[in-house]
A and B are shown apart, each in its own frame.
Chain A
Amino acid sequence: MRYVADWALNVAALRGASYADVRVIAQRSRALTTKNGKVGSASDAESVGMNVRVIADGAWGFAASADMGRAAVEATAAQAVAIARASAKVKRENVRLAPEKAVVAEWSTPYTIDPFTVSVDQNIDLLLKIDGELRSVAGITLAESNLNFNREEQWFVSSEGADIHQTKLSTGSGYAAYAFAGNEIQKRSYPNSYGGQWQNKGYELIEELKLVENARRIAEEAVALHQADQCPEGTFDIILDSSQLGLQIHESIGHPIELDRVLGMEANFAGTSFLTLDKLRTLRYGTELVNVVADARQEHGPGLGTFGFDDEGVPARCTPIIANGVFTGYLSSRETAHTIGETRSGGTLRAEGWNRLPMIRMTNISLLPGETPMTLEELIASTDNGILMQTNRSWSIDDKRYNFQFGCEIGWEIKHGKRVRMLKNPSYSGITTEFWNSLDAVCSRDEWLLWGTPNCGKGQPQQVIGTGHGAAPARFRAIKVGKAFQN
């Protein structure tokens, strides 16, 4: 593929681009679903193409093509330069890129079992077995399950000399059981809602998730929710399980630290951020127990935000975001690093595919586990009057990322250190910094899981990409509960 990149880089230089990079990408995906005892969908997809990103006259241009013949590639490069010159007609200042050492490198996701080598028969049998377990519970009216595998091979070549070949692999699976009765639909999901658990791993993830083993319990909980009491409204201490806490991190830390949002680049769609530049190293984001990193390195784990290099050739990095409760860092790119006084990019520029412009995206934004050994059961035992909430059901946050409201699938009332009753329709709400400043306990490493969020949307045209979020269950004091169902 190097020759494709060379064709494009040569034309970009001849047309006057001061910088250019080329990404050639081949993506493959497989999606299998079942619903109520039948295969719901079965599809394979392949997409191949290239793009050219250039700076000309101090402004950006980008063009992409599925045709990788020489004429089409050269025309695409020329189009990118022409677009950049049009951009330059409405600019305030020239684009500045933080320096980055150009590297020649190979990187690929470590895995044990290539999921594309596992027979479709075997996959469908697994999903139908889960489906059977779910529907064996009286009262289940809808059972859905899914398996997803993705591979992306990318060649990144820049006019500065970078030449990086990278292959990423991801696997995801999950299921949901619905119970409709009277005027109510209740639902339970495993291992997480909205597609389950996803990681940059091979088929070994599926074997680790114990999908079949948990199906009956999940279905029974969905039915039992109909008999459960409504979650009360009021102020309570709450414990969030690690998957819900992962989404809380995503929405109320991950998005506000995106530097492009902070600088107003997303104002028309995704929004801006309350984390204005004056808050760096001055804002108390949370209590001393709140330690958050943005870590794309493999040693952080197989998250959907794990890679060798970002989409402008910056090696995976770990950036401290919140240290002992103090806000310490943003997600940045080569273009934006200088705005926070950094001399290097934070390495977070990523694109959905070959036809999309890379932009600042979350990598793995994780709350580090507590250092004092503590299991979830021990955390519950130390809670006098609270509510444990598990598995996200709804999520919403304002466009500066202050006010949020989350609903969960199931709640458990805690009295004097014990779970005393199941609660349906639990929800909680708050203001981001007030919430993180109410955290008083985080479980330790044994309870920490690196969750994958496969559906994070941002940008115009919108791009959907996967992000990772490590979390252990944690407790928050005096949180507003139940506003969603207030009369």
Chain B
Amino acid sequence: MLRKDQAGDIFNRICKLTTADEVEVLFSGGRFALTRFANNSIHQNVAEENHVVSVRTVFGGRTARASTNTFDDESLRQVVRSSESLARVQHPDPDLLPMPNREEDADSADKSARTTQAPSRYFEQTAAITPELRAEGVRKIVDVAVKNRLTTAGVFSSAESVEGIFNSHGLSHWHTQTLAEVSITMLGEDSSGWQKANSPDVANLNPVQLAEVAAQKAIDSAHPREIPPGKYTVILEPSAVLDLVGFMFWDYSGMAILDQRSFLSGRIGTKLFGENITFCDDVAHPLQSGSPFDGEGVRRQKIALVENGVVKRVVYARSTAERVKRSEYADKVGPISATGHGFPLPSEVGEMPLNIVFATVGNPQTVEQMIASTERGILVTRLWYIREVEPFEKMLTGMTRDGTLLIENGKLRGGIRNFRFNESLIHMLSNVEAMSEPVRACGEESFDMVVPAMRVRDFHFTEATKF
């Protein structure tokens, strides 16, 4: 694993090689291993180690980036040369700001919104996971499958990673993190169930418990029957919520407002969702993960995005904030300041909130309590292949998968054939009847978040498939 002192040495070598006005170097990478199983057998099992150094140079308002994963003198000379030659032929960008320095970073933006320091996200126990330990975990999952006369497929992975940034104005940040992840599908003859969880600390994962829940879903949803498509009350488990709401966060960006590609254009300050919808971006939340600084090294701040259904503001990279202040949108978008959510420059997409945390509103209910109080509805474990059909109403399509069950009179009444939905996120978040306590959740269509399960009325299923 690359250490900060080694990265600092590489940065110093790069500084000696460049003639640029300014230079910034990003480091990323680490160790990653994944054991993959299917048909109750390990069939893929991989490990890698890789680190990337990415060099951005600036000449008189012109900037560009080049990267390499080899750190010998000639490779560093070449990556600097590539970055410089790309930068020199750019047109000057009047919106490009000088790189932030150490003081600017410390002072960055709105101190009232400042988060506390994010907790450590590096756990020795996770970093020390071996192929044998992962195989042992898989063995236990397979045992659950065999006990229930099912077959199982999934992954058990572990990683330790670094992210770092150094620039020629004296700014430097370094972040290390571990992550373990378990994802399990249990397959019956005509049904399936799924569970997935991850955490920086492997002690928070319980593969056997996940396997038992996935197995029960496969059993409960056996012999699925077809019911007609239409508008149903649905109970979306946290992974399903995450995969849906994840499609809107590209739009909580100053650059998206400038580009007129955001569904929030003209809607900031208005009540867009139900009274019970409140969420923020908060890298320091104990259930979150990731580095506490952005692509320019600006510290990520806690930002309230939506409160009681009202869109409060969006996030900003440094230059985007300055552009929006000068734009026709300046008095229409709420507070404008660099929030520490920028992507590495140069970037045409600007920034994005990546540490979403939904708030507990009212009296949270467990999924079981929501089921018990539902006269007729559908329990959705997982969604799949979600795509945006219409960008301004945030109309999404996708499929249910791996555990779709009918609810009648407060009880699960067996599996049903999977549905295709076409549903507006605005409509959905205006129709949330109940929520659970938010949990750290992970899916396949979006990034990890802290989200609740939700009961939503009038969720629109337009077609059923064949299984």
Contact assessment for B389 and A407 in the assembled complex, using a CB-CB cutoff below 8 Å: yes
Contact assessment for B397 and A48 in the assembled complex, using a CB-CB cutoff below 8 Å: no
A414 to B226 CA separation, bound complex (whole angstroms):
35
Nearest CB of B to A137, in Å: 15
- A403-B155 contact in complex given A124-B89, A178-B261, A486-B422, C-beta closer than 8 Å: no
Q: Decide if A357 is an interface residue (CB 8 Å cutoff).
A: yes
B residues near A49, Cβ cutoff 8 Å: 50, 69
| CB < 8 Å neighbour of A90 from B37, B46, B384 | B37
Contact assessment for A92 and B41 in the assembled complex, using a CB-CB cutoff below 8 Å: yes
Contact assessment for A90 and B38 in the assembled complex, using a CB-CB cutoff below 8 Å: no
Contact assessment for B420 and A66 in the assembled complex, using a CB-CB cutoff below 8 Å: no
When each residue 107-138 of chain A gets 1 if its CB lies under 8 Å from chain B and 0 otherwise, what string results?
00000000000011100100000000000000
Contact assessment for A142 and B259 in the assembled complex, using a CB-CB cutoff below 8 Å: yes
Q: Decide if B463 is an interface residue (CB 8 Å cutoff).
A: yes
A429 to B52 CA separation, bound complex (whole angstroms):
43
Q: How large is the interface on A (under 10, 10 to 19, 20 to 34, 35 or more residues)?
A: 35 or more
Q: Decide if B369 is an interface residue (CB 8 Å cutoff).
A: no
Contact assessment for A46 and B387 in the assembled complex, using a CB-CB cutoff below 8 Å: no
Nearest CB of B to A349, in Å: 12
Contact assessment for A398 and B384 in the assembled complex, using a CB-CB cutoff below 8 Å: yes
When each residue 321-340 of chain A gets 1 if its CB lies under 8 Å from chain B and 0 otherwise, what string results?
00000000000000000000
| CB < 8 Å neighbour of A142 from B47, B51, B86, B261 | B261
Nearest CB of B to A361, in Å: 14
B residues near A266, Cβ cutoff 8 Å: 38, 153
Q: Considering the complex, give the chain B residue whose CB is closest to the CB of A30.
A: B86
Q: Decide if B139 is an interface residue (CB 8 Å cutoff).
A: yes
Contact assessment for A41 and B153 in the assembled complex, using a CB-CB cutoff below 8 Å: no
- A405-B420 contact in complex given A35-B259, A92-B41, A141-B260, C-beta closer than 8 Å: yes
When each residue 361-403 of chain A gets 1 if its CB lies under 8 Å from chain B and 0 otherwise, what string results?
0000000000000000000000000000000011111111011
Q: Decide if B103 is an interface residue (CB 8 Å cutoff).
A: no
Contact assessment for B67 and A45 in the assembled complex, using a CB-CB cutoff below 8 Å: yes
A-B contact pairs, 19 of them (CB 8 A): A35-B259, A38-B93, A46-B70, A63-B48, A65-B48, A87-B131, A89-B136, A124-B89, A124-B90, A264-B38, A267-B153, A269-B444, A355-B50, A394-B388, A395-B387, A398-B385, A403-B399, A429-B420, A486-B460
If A42-B65, A42-B346 are given as contacts, then 5 extra A-B residue pairs at C-beta distance below 8 Å, sorted by A number, are A59-B42, A65-B48, A184-B392, A429-B463, A484-B390
Tell me the A residues contacting B by CB distance below 8 Å: 33, 35-36, 38-49, 51, 59-67, 79-80, 82-84, 86-87, 89-93, 119-121, 124, 141-142, 144, 178, 180, 183-185, 263-269, 271, 274, 355-357, 359, 393-400, 402-403, 405, 407, 425, 427, 429, 431, 460-461, 483-486
Tell me the B residues contacting A by CB distance below 8 Å: 32-52, 64-70, 75, 78-79, 82-83, 85-87, 89-91, 93, 130-132, 134-136, 138-139, 142, 151, 153-155, 157, 183-185, 187, 192, 194, 259-261, 265, 346-348, 384-393, 395, 397-399, 401-402, 418, 420, 422, 444, 460, 462-467
